[in-house]
């Protein structure tokens, strides 16, 4: 079966694939190669113990959806996100109690902590004082220039980066009138205006994010702003939607933006678990060649020849490989017609038969096991591969 799909986000990968095929065809015109960051001159910004910009890897961010005031729950979620591969975490800071909680949260986690503040400049100052590694504000809604000055002063004293965030939904009336509606040009002008105000206050430790839930507008906005500034860009499709819609919109939007070498850190926004955001972000980066490592799962879409419960098995394999740190391709195929051939292309694979299946490793059939034992046998083989790899390293 030639139409293998990666289980996680089936539709996402189909769309990414079409996007990439289109890009590959037009690569000569684009003048750069897949995976190369054409904005390698972006300013390098340190966020706690991580850096973004320049030639540094594109980092994955997510945002907690616990009450930040609830330290225990927030820390538990951040630790789970760290384990899933989150590089930088952001927490909403809507109250002074939430700002105070940052100090305790920060002590218990290992990745940089970003405070997300709206409206109240005092919360931004408090967040910095309680240890935030970066703050995210919209200078347009922080209550005027004096308040912004006060925030910038404290950020400057502690050299804490400010992410200047602008959303299409909050574009200033003047810019809406000037550009006859909410446009990419208007959003860019709004973001750069705000950056300029902070620069005039003598501060340059900045990251920019411009968000729109309209994917095409978001792409255009990033294409325009990337030519006009070298501050690192935090890229994401805002309010992308539920897990399915959000994944598709994010994969298409981020795929096109990142492919052009634009973007230094990303967040996939989903109405769902932040863990899913991180998994999707990792897959997007991996699909585009920006990340390596981890188990890549391919599986057939099933058809009338499938004799085992492949849909269930593929889901179980996907969950089973999560904790196995191996850079391999695992194939889960439904039948003996095309399955073995396809599984041979992978490092290890399963091909189903009638109530049983074979395990194929590096092109050779190594075991024939009952259907009920396929999952555990595959895990056993993967763990053996891991052990061998560790021995080779030692």
Please give the Cα distance from 194 to 383 (Å, whole number): 52
Nearer to ligand SF4, 87 or 318 (CB): 318
Region 313-352 residues binding ligand SF4, contact defined as CB under 6 A = 333-335, 337-339
Q: Check binding of 305 to ligand SF4 (CB under 6 A).
A: yes
Counting every residue written for the chain, the total comes to 394
Nearer to ligand SF4, 278 or 335 (CB): 335
Query: How many CB atoms lie under 10 A from the CB of residue 159?
Result: 9
Nearer to ligand SF4, 70 or 306 (CB): 306
Q: Check binding of 285 to ligand SF4 (CB under 6 A).
A: no
Please give the Cα distance from 83 to 136 (Å, whole number): 24
Nearer to ligand SF4, 202 or 304 (CB): 304
Whole-number minimum distance, CB 280 to ligand SF4, in Å? 25
Nearer to ligand SF4, 58 or 297 (CB): 297
Q: Which of 228, 156, 161 is nearest to 190 (CA)?
A: 228
Q: Which of 92, 104, 96 is nearest to 122 (CA)?
A: 96
Nearer to ligand SF4, 337 or 366 (CB): 337
Nearer to ligand SF4, 277 or 347 (CB): 347
Q: Which of 191, 256, 200, 196 is nearest to 30 (CA)?
A: 256
Q: Which of 120, 111, 121, 73 is nearest to 90 (CA)?
A: 111
Nearer to ligand SF4, 207 or 335 (CB): 335
Q: For residues 59 and 88, is the Cβ–Cβ distance under 8 A? A: yes
Whole-number minimum distance, CB 376 to ligand SF4, in Å? 22
User: Which distant-in-sequence residues (6+ apart) come within 8 Å of 256 by Cβ?
Assistant: 19, 23, 219
Whole-number minimum distance, CB 259 to ligand SF4, in Å? 29
Taking contact as CB under 6 A, which single stretch among the options 38-46, 87-95, 237-245, 297-305 is the one that binds ligand SF4? 297-305
Q: In this chain, which of 27, 95, 302, 389 binds ligand SF4, going by CB under 6 A?
A: 302
Nearer to ligand SF4, 113 or 330 (CB): 330
Give how far Cα 274 sits from Cα of 12, 34, 77, 106, Å: 17, 28, 9, 18
Q: Check binding of 308 to ligand SF4 (CB under 6 A).
A: no
- Residue listed under structure tokens 């074979």: 358
Site string for ligand SF4, 242-281 (x = CB under 6 A): ----------------------------------------
Q: In this chain, which of 300, 308, 374, 375 binds ligand SF4, going by CB under 6 A?
A: 300
Phi and psi angles of residue 61, each rounded to the nearest 5 degrees, phi first: -120, 160
Q: What is the largest CA-CA distance in the chain?
A: 73
Q: Check binding of 354 to ligand SF4 (CB under 6 A).
A: no
Q: In this chain, which of 65, 306, 385, 386 binds ligand SF4, going by CB under 6 A?
A: 306
Give how far Cα 356 sits from Cα of 334, 351, 367, Å: 11, 9, 11
Whole-number minimum distance, CB 311 to ligand SF4, in Å? 11
Taking contact as CB under 6 A, which single stretch among the options 62-70, 84-92, 250-258, 298-306 is the one that binds ligand SF4? 298-306
Question: Residue 286 burial (CB < 10 Å; 0-12/13-18/19+)?
Answer: middle
Residues in the site for ligand SF4, rule: CB under 6 A? 1, 300-303, 305-306, 333-335, 337-339
């Amino acid at each position: 079966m030639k139409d293998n799909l990666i289980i996680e986000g089936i539709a996402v990968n189909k769309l990414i694939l079409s996007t990439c095929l289109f890009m590959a065809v037009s690569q000569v015109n684009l003048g750069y190669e897949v995976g190369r960051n054409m904005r390698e001159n972006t300013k390098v910004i340190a966020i706690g113990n991580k850096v973004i910009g320049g030639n540094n890897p594109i980092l994955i961010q997510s945002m907690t959806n616990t009450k930040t005031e609830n330290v225990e729950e927030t820390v538990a979620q951040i630790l789970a996100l760290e384990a899933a591969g989150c590089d930088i975490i952001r927490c909403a800071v809507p109250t002074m109690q939430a700002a105070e909680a940052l100090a305790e949260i920060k002590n218990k986690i290992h990745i940089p902590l970003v405070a997300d503040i709206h409206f109240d400049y005092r919360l931004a100052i408090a967040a910095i004082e309680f240890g935030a590694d970066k703050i995210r504000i919209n200078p347009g809604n922080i209550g005027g220039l004096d308040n912004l000055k006060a925030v910038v002063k404290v950020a400057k004293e502690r050299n804490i980066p400010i992410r200047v965030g602008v959303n299409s939904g909050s574009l200033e009336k003047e810019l809406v009138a000037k550009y006859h509606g909410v446009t990419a040009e208007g959003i860019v002008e709004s973001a750069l205006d705000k950056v300029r105000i902070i620069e005039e206050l003598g501060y340059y430790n900045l990251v920019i994010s411009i968000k729109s839930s309209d994917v095409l507008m978001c792409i255009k906005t990033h294409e325009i702003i990337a030519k006009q500034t070298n501050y690192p860009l935090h890229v994401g499709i805002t309010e992308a939607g539920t897990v399915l819609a959000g994944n598709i919109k994010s994969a298409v939007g981020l795929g096109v933006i990142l492919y052009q070498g634009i973007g230094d850190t990303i967040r996939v926004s989903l109405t769902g678990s932040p863990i899913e955001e991180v998994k999707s972000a990792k897959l997007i980066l991996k699909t585009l060649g920006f990340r390596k490592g981890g188990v890549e799962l391919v599986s057939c879409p099933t058809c009338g020849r499938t004799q085992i419960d492949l849909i269930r098995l593929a889901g179980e394999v996907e969950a089973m490989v999560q904790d196995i740190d191996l850079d391999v391709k695992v194939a889960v195929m439904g039948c003996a017609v095309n399955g073995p051939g396809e599984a041979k292309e992978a490092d290890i694979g399963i091909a189903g038969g009638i109530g049983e299946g074979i395990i194929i490793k590096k092109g050779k059939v190594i075991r024939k096991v009952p259907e009920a034992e396929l999952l555990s046998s595959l895990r056993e083989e993967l763990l053996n591969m891991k052990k061998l790899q560790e021995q080779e390293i030692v």
